[in-house]
A and B are shown apart, each in its own frame.
Chain A
């Protein structure tokens, strides 16, 4: 059959091509969502006078700030082929812990914030331990944790809204001015978190291991990646992010509200899916999630400006989600 002639490999020595810059910033999976974002913006810019203004964009970012931040944690978990139904409830418990401790007066506000975030991290860690040590499906673990966190929120708060918060808890809701536009500090925190996690997922070994663990856990394990440790770290980091989302929520609403965040779990999944991240794990990008969150925000905002009743906004969001998952599924079929 074939003989073995060892060719001098000097024919292939021109350097390996790097992807063009735009491809490095935006993975393929985010191109579709980005196109949808641009189209939706163009549509509302034409149909309304007030949509395409800096002030309105600042408002949209404020509106998607909390769900967008939750969706960062959700993205990490979905990339590992998991799902988190408990993030809104964990965040709500975190806000009650922060606000009650801070208002009680015995705890300095900064420490109260820290404890609130650590409590959320603890919930994330508990999710991660159940998923990795007992190998329970993430769907069930986080469904249970959703109920636990929800109940604890109501027990601990006595169903009471916590108000009269120290300024440190609401400072992220304050604004500074760029040109003639008011921008909240919280918006900057959210954007910064997206950029940090875009870097971590795209440029570090840990990010690679998150993708590999979600894409082919057995292959990842055989190459020496401690996949259980990766999962545990993902759920814990997600918990920290939920705590930060809680602080943003408190800053935006100026109260600790036990009723908050009840649909945020599903809204965060919506943002992740609209952003082109696959529910099957291993594919997607966190900047896509930012785009997904903005798509939801722009539709709600634009339809509101057009005077469309809010129930139609929900209807359209539902249609968009199914469209996004269908596109994901069909594109994956093409690959196989």
Chain B
């Protein structure tokens, strides 16, 4: 398999016609998804649009009732998150999934500890701590996450640095896809900027990133393409340069629909709804901002 980036290659991860029902509630109603090589794809959608269900299915946390997922063009089924991870799909969860009392190297290798060679490892099951520290230092250096010491517990780090550890862990193990669920939601302005830089570096190293975010300025700053999810379906995929933030939010809320016939000429069907969700008349987003 060639996971190296070739812009002309087909999509890395795709989904067609995903359906997921919880009792009477239809969370996904024939959703499609395409992740291209080497891109940052933002997934946005209002509450209840099905974006978290979509992500859960793509990362193995849920199984679809119908639909097809392919990875590198081959159909796949993920029975659980571990299964998806074995296929090289790593997820960074919203709530900073690290063990705060353990040090950075231990967190990077949590659940994947490396044992020493020889009888020390096989019989006494001894961990190879020097090797794990060396590799951790290499990963952190590659992503230019500056930390004084890898032996300090993660709880001594700032929120942005902790997120950096979680991202570095995912980037170290994910060789296909990195999924990030609201990576900047818990962070301040400066730390968010650091995490966005980190996402860029990961993309530039060739790992495509799926970014779920509510923060439109962040989405527009970092995404190569934006997947807009609404009412259980993908209603459009746009490039940030082609549409304003307000237009994208309007599509997300249903105030506007994308008309692919006339490229880049969005049709505002409901100006009242658009202003109701906090969009100014010239398409400036007023509501979504940085919450410290």
Contacts and interface: CB of A to CB of B under 8 A. Distances in A.
Interface in A256-299: 282-283
Nearest to A29: B101
Contacts, number: 109
Contacts of A17: 149-151
B48 interface: no
A313 to B, nearest CB: 33
Contacts of A2: 193, 196-197
B98 interface: yes
Interface string B85-123: 100000101010111111001100011110100000000
Contacts of B106: 208, 212
B137 A216 contact: no
Interface stretch (A39-47, A103-111, A199-207, A314-322): A199-207
A224 interface: yes
B60 to A, nearest CB: 11
A1 interface: yes
A123 to B, nearest CB: 26
B142 interface: yes
A104 to B, nearest CB: 39
Given A7-B144, A9-B144, A208-B110, A215 B81 contact: no
A336 B124 CA distance: 36
A211 B81 CA distance: 22
Most central of B97, B124, B150, B200 by chain A CB within 10 Å: B97
B269 interface: no
Nearest to A225: B111
A208 B149 CA distance: 19
Contacts of A211: 99, 101-102
A13 interface: yes
Interface in B112-165: 112-113, 115, 124-127, 129-130, 133-134, 136-138, 140-142, 144, 149-151, 155-156
Nearest to A7: B144
A215 B101 contact: yes
B201 interface: yes
Contact of B201 (A6, A203, A215, A218): A6
Interface residues of B, number: 47
B193 A1 contact: yes
Contacts of B101: 211, 215, 282-283
Contacts of A208: 102, 106, 110, 113, 127
A137 B82 CA distance: 27
Most central of A18, A204, A205 by chain B CB within 10 Å: A205
A218 B201 CA distance: 28
Nearest to B91: A222
B291 interface: no
Contact of A224 (B82, B115, B156, B200): B82
A335 B113 CA distance: 26
A12 interface: yes
B125 A205 contact: yes
Contacts of B125: 204-206
6 contacts: A9-B142, A11-B141, A13-B138, A15-B137, A16-B133, A212-B99
Given A4-B200, A218-B97, 10 more contacts: A2-B193, A9-B142, A208-B102, A208-B113, A208-B127, A212-B99, A212-B102, A224-B82, A225-B111, A336-B155
Interface of A: 1-2, 4, 6-7, 9, 11-13, 15-19, 199, 203-206, 208-209, 211-212, 215-216, 218-220, 222-225, 282-283, 335-336
